[in-house]
Amino acid sequence: MSQGNHSDGNGSGTMQTTGRILVLGGGYSGLFAAANAADVARECDSPLSITLVSKDGYLEHRPRLYEKNPDTLRVAVGDLVEALGIRLVIGVATSIDTGAKTVTVAGTDRTQVLSYDRLVLATGSELRHLPIPGMAQFAWNIDSYKGAKAFDDHLKAIAGTLAGPANNTFVIIGAGMTGIELAAEMRDRIEQHAGAAVAQAARVILVERGDDVGPTFGDEPRPVIKQALELAKVELRLGTGVASVRRDSVTLTTGEKIATATTVMTVGMSASALTEQIPGKRDESGRLHVDDNLQVIGVEHVYATGDVACAYADDSNMAIMSCQTSRTMGKYAGRNAACDLLGQPFRRYRQPDYTTCLDLGRFGAVFTMGFDRKLKTSGAEAKKRKRWINTEVINPPNVGPVDQILAEMRIDQRGR
């Protein structure tokens, strides 16, 4: 345990602290990790210096980025973080030295080196450009606020020209969760900028390399999903990948060339590239293997959480990259990092009750439970649940009394 006065780039000044926790990434996991570390410090009446590095001070609601109005899909967290006594550093972490226990952060006006006693890596996941000619230049994405905003601006820009065959065809690559949600919503997205008639006349094409939509969804929800896509007049291209993307077309591996000004990529998700700087074992998605306390296996003083962590959710299933997982894991990672510094017992991460709620636009939603995705509800009932998740559950608490904020952010009675 380190003790004493800190006056390095962490900005803890001369305040007596019992240790420095540095959280990288201001998404769900990072925010909940920082808050729960602050909660433990309060519980133990031991000041910790907690710093959260966020690239821009916003929590992006990534699960909602298929929806319209991207500007409404992120929330500024500065006031919340300040209320909890957490220092917010705006910048991008560019390198991690686990030997020296430092992180270099590039801000808009300066680069600083932050020291830590415990590091919590929460930098999430990102779409990596697949080695497909033209993909990096011409494909759109809804992976981040920036990507979703650029995509929406593109829809706005072409709205007046949607009569041509290329401009009124929209090709979505990947029939996983993101691709399905966007395909089901696509006509509403077009309608917002170009009107109902243009939206109804548009072609929406969903391309999937696997033999069926939702390859990881299992057999129970798939008929509901397929029926919704049919009602949404989404054309399917199954068993084919993408050979190349151009500004005005996409060519599939079957040889089919589709004239389109809009190809949206939803596949190729990997854990943040910062994981490569931690000398731990990683899984095929780049996630760091962590133990039950979310410490990176074999790397001292480093915790990983959310989309960068490969953890057991129960005794046989690994946690899936998801919002519900990231929020809960963040609570455990922040808590355990603080308990580690303060000599308190760890809390073992487990989250066995995995659920999925997939939005099907005007055609309802589908709700499943368990890692084998057993169908629980669909249609209007599932849609109601999806709206509740998207508009209430995933929001951070409002700024208010600290006890109230922390009560809303700590591990609940179900262990979530």
Ligand X SMILES: Cc1cc2nc3c(=O)[nH]c(=O)nc-3n(C[C@H](O)[C@H](O)[C@H](O)COP(=O)(O)OP(=O)(O)OC[C@H]3O[C@@H](n4cnc5c(N)ncnc54)[C@H](O)[C@@H]3O)c2cc1C
Q: How far is the CB of 134 from ligand X (least distance, A)?
A: 22
Of 25, 24, 5, nearest to 16 by C-alpha is: 5
185 binds ligand X (CB under 6 A): no
Of 336, 324, 327, 322, nearest to 292 by C-alpha is: 336
274 binds ligand X (CB under 6 A): yes
Site string for ligand X, 231-270 (x = CB under 6 A): ----------------------------------------
Query: How is the beta sheet containing 249-252 ordered, strand by strand?
Result: 242-246, 249-252, 257-259
With a CB cutoff of 8 Å and minimum separation 6, the contacts of 335 are: 36, 37, 39, 40, 347, 410, 411
28 binds ligand X (CB under 6 A): yes
H or E segment at 245? strand 242-246
92 binds ligand X (CB under 6 A): yes
In the bound state with ligand X, the residue whose beta carbon lies nearer, of 33 and 198, is: 33
Q: Which of 10, 66, 190, 214 binds ligand X (CB under 6 A)?
A: 66
C-alpha 24/C-alpha 30 separation (Å) is 7
Q: How far is the CB of 26 from ligand X (least distance, A)?
A: 5
The residue number with the shortest CB distance to ligand X is 27
What pairs with residue 60 in β-bridges?
74
In the bound state with ligand X, the residue whose beta carbon lies nearer, of 198 and 294, is: 294
Q: Which of 63, 176, 214, 364 binds ligand X (CB under 6 A)?
A: 63
Total residue count of the chain as it appears in this document: 416
Task: Say if residues 404 and 393 touch (Cβ distance below 8 Å).
Answer: no
- List the interface residues with ligand X, window 95-154 (CB under 6 A): 122-125, 142-143
In the bound state with ligand X, the residue whose beta carbon lies nearer, of 31 and 261, is: 31
Kindly indicate which of the ranges 2-10, 26-34, 200-208, 229-237 contains the residues binding ligand X, using the contact rule CB under 6 A: 26-34
Q: Which of 24, 73, 86, 175 binds ligand X (CB under 6 A)?
A: 24
Compute φ and ψ for 208, nearest 5 degrees: -140, 130
With a CB cutoff of 8 Å and minimum separation 6, the contacts of 166 are: 248, 249, 259, 260, 261
What pairs with residue 172 in β-bridges?
206, 264
Q: How far is the CB of 220 from ligand X (least distance, A)?
A: 18
In the bound state with ligand X, the residue whose beta carbon lies nearer, of 148 and 198, is: 148
Site for ligand X, rule CB under 6 A: 24-30, 53, 55, 60, 62-63, 65-66, 92-93, 122-125, 142-143, 177-178, 272, 274, 306-307, 321-324, 326
